Structure 1
Amino acid sequence: MNRMQDRVVVVTGAAGGMGRAHCRRLAEEGADIIAVDLPDADLAGTAREVESAGRRCVTGVADVTEQQALDAAVTAGVDRLGRLDAVVANAGVYADLALSWELPDTAWQRALDINLTGVWHTVRAGIPHLGAGGSIVVVGSTNGVRGGLSAAHYSASKHAVVGLARTVANELGAQRIRVNTVHPGSVATSMILNDTVYAALRPDLPNPTQEDAARVLAARNILPVPWVDPVDVSNAVLFLASDESRYVTGIELVVDAGLTQKV
C-alpha cells in the first residue's frame, strides 16, 4: 500500500468519473493529491475520498483550456504540498456525437480545445515542478489508437495527444522524466453511461436502455464484458506513475477488455 508513499500527484478532471478514481487509487498507495477541475465541479467530494485514505488533498479550480489559471492551480498545490512527482492529464470531453460531415465546427473545436490543448497546457504546467524520476501520464482512449464512428473530433484529439506524449517523452528523457499514455475502452462512468451514447449504439430502438447498449459493447470486446471499471484504468495510471515503471516511457497502455484486438 505504499507504491506512491509521500509522492505528490496533480490530476485534472479530478472531481468525478475516472479522475476521482485516479485520485482515490493514488491516495490509497500513499500519494498526496492536487485535484484540479472546473469551478462548479465537486472537488470537495474528491478531497474527502483522498483524506479518507489518510492523505492530503489540495483542490484547485481551473479550466484546462486556460493556461494561466492552470499554472496557478498547480503552483499553489506544489507550494502547499512541497513537491510534484507525477502529472495525470485526465480532463476530457466526449460529446456531440455526429457523422464527420455533420459535426458542427463548435463541437470539433471544443473537443480539440479540451482533449488536446488542455493536455498540452497540463503538461506545460507540470514540467517546471518535476524532477528526476517524475512521470507524466496522459489519459487517452482506444479512439486514439483506432477510429470510432460518429466521433471524428474525439478520435482526432485522442490520436493527437499520442504524438504529443511521444514528443515530450523524447524531450524529457535526459532528465529521467517519463511520459506515457493510457487508453481506456468503454468505462463505466457517465461519459459512456448516458442516453445519448445508448441512442448512438442502438439507433434501431426508440428508447434504448443501458442493458441494450451493454449488449453492443460486450460484443465488441474479446473479454465478455461491456466495459471496464474506473479502478481498472486507475491501476494502469498508478503503474505508470510509480517506480514500478521506472524504465517505461513513450508507450501506449491499452485497458479495453480486448476491444482493439478483437478479430
Structure 2
Amino acid sequence: MRLENKVAIITGAGGDIGRATALRFAEEGCRIAVADIREEAGAHTVDLIKENGGQAFFVRTDVTSPEDIENMVNVTIDTFGKLDILFNNAGVNIDESKIPDVSLSDWQRVMDINLNGVFLGMKYAIPKMESGSAIVNTASIAGIKGQKLLSAYTASKSSVIALTKAASTEFGRENIRVNAIAPGVIDTDMVEDWKNSNKWSALSTANALRRVGKATEIANAVLFLSSDEASFITGETLIIDGGTLNL
C-alpha cells in the first residue's frame, strides 16, 4: 500500500474533497486525523473510514485558531506517534461581488481560513515532521488566472501558491516536501448554489473535458503528491481542472 504506516492530518475532512481524500488515504494504509470545525460531518468521515477497516479519529479544529491547530498536531502525535502528511484543505468562499462591495469582515474571514489556516497548519506541523514528510495545500485555478467578483477567494488562493513555494525552499534540505493543488470546478458543496444559476450549464462544461471534476479525482492527485512516488516534486502547484486554463 502506498501510504502504509503513514499518519496524516486532513483539515476540512468533513467536506467532499477532504472526506474523499481521507477515505483514499485510508485505503492505502494511512492512519488519519480527521480535522474539521463541523463535528457531525467530521465524525461521519471517521465512521466511513472505520467501516472500511481503516484507523481514524476526529479532532474538532477551527483553522483560524492557533490553539486549535497546535492541539490538532499534538493530539495526532499523541494518538498515532508521529505525523508524516499534512493536507491543508479547509477553505471557504463568499458570494460574488465587486471589490468595493466586499465587506471587510468577509474579506478577513476568507483570508483567515484559506490563507492563515494553511500558514498555521505548517507553522505547528513542520517542527514535528521528519525527513520524508509531505505537505499539500489546497489552492485553486482562481489563484492562478484571477477570477472576477471573487476577489477575496482569488487573493487567498494565489497567496497559498506563493506560501507553498516559500515553504518548499525553506524545508527542502530537511526533505520535507510542500506542494499545492489547484482544482477547477469540482462537484462539491461549494458549487451547489451555482447549480441553480443560469450560468451552470456554461460553468460545468468550461474545460477541455467538458465536464465537472469529482472529489475522488482530487483525492487521487493529493495521494500522489503525498506518496513517495512524488519524492522529487516540491514547490509545485498541480492544476486539476480538466483543461480549463488551456482554453
Cα offset, 1:41, TM superposition: 4.3
Q: 2:201 aligns with which of 215, 229, 234?
A: 215
Output the CA distance in 2 between the equivalents of 1:105 and 1:256. 30
Instruction: Name the structure 2 match of 1:188.
Output: 187
Q: Partner of 1:144: helix, strand, or coil? A: helix
Paired with 2:220 and 2:199, the residues of 1 have a C-alpha distance of: 25
Query: In structure 2, what residue type is equivalent to 1:222?
Result: A
Q: Do 1:96 and 1:107's aligned partners in 2 also have CA atoms closer than 8 Å?
A: no
Corresponding residue number in structure 2 for 1:252: 237
Distance (Å, rounded) in 1 between the aligned partners of 2:13 and 2:27: 15
Shift, 1:179, TM fit: 0.3
Q: Which residue of 2 aligns with 1:201?
A: none
Residues in 1 aligned to 2:40 and 2:104: alpha-carbon distance in whole angstroms: 26
C-alpha contact 2:13 2:36 (8 A) present in aligned 1: yes
Q: 1:213 Cα deviation (Å)?
A: 4.2
- SS at 2:109's partner residue? helix
- CA distance in 1 between counterparts of 2:176 and 2:136 reads 11
Instruction: Measure the CA separation in 2 of the matches of 1:23 and 1:137.
Output: 13
Residue 149 of structure 2 aligns to a residue whose secondary structure is: coil
**AA partner of residue 13 (structure 1):** G
- Stretch moving more, 176-185 or 45-54: 45-54
Q: Aligned partner of 2:3: which letter?
A: M
Q: Tell me the distance in 2 between the aligned counterparts of 1:43 and 1:219.
A: 31
State the alpha-carbon separation in 1 of the partners of residues 223 and 52 from structure 2: 15
The 3-state SS of whatever aligns with 1:253 is strand
1:94 aligns to 2:93 (yes or no): yes
User: For the aligned residues, what is the CA RMSD?
Assistant: 1.3
Does structure 2 conserve the Cα–Cα contact (< 8 Å) formed by 1:60 and 1:74?
no
**SS state at 1:223 partner:** coil
CA distance in 1, matches of 2:55, 2:206: 40
CA contact (8 A) 2:87 2:135 kept: yes
Query: What corresponds to 1:71 in structure 2?
Result: 70
**What SS does the corresponding residue of 1:254 show, helix, strand or coil?**
strand
TM-score by length of 1: 0.90
What are the within-5 Å matches in structure 2 for residues 31-50 of structure 1? 31-50=30-49
Q: Deviation per CA, 1:71-115, whole angstroms, max 9, x where unpaired?
A: 112211111111111100000001232112211111111111110
Q: Is the 8 A contact 1:4 1:31 kept in 2?
A: yes
Quote the offset at 1:40 in angstroms: 4.0
1:65 aligns to what SS in structure 2?
Answer: coil
Runs of 4+ in 1 over 6 A off after TM superposition: none
| 2:55 is aligned with 1:56 | yes
Partner secondary structure for residue 15 of structure 1: coil
Q: 1:228 deviation in Å?
A: 0.2
The alignment covers a number of residue pairs equal to 247
Conserved? CA contact 1:180–1:251, under 8 Å: yes
Tell me which residue corresponds to 1:113.
112
Q: Structure 1, unaligned stretches of length 5 or more?
A: 199-207
Deviates more, 1:165-174 or 1:73-82: 73-82
Q: Secondary structure at the match of 1:136?
A: strand
Q: Deviations over 1:44-64 (max 9, x none)?
A: 101012112322102111100
Match of 1:167 in 2: 166
Work out whether residues 138 and 165 of structure 1, in 8 Å CA contact, stay in contact via their aligned partners in 2. yes
The gaps in structure 2 that reach 5 residues or longer are none
Cα deviation, residue 39, structure 1: 4.7
**What SS does structure 1 have at the residue aligned with 2:32?**
strand
Indicate the SS of the match to 2:159. helix
1:15-34 equivalent positions in 2, closer than 5 A: 15-34=14-33
- Kept after mapping to 2: 8 A contact 1:85/1:134: yes
What letter corresponds to residue 201 of structure 2 in structure 1?
R
Offset at residue 125 of structure 1 (A): 2.1
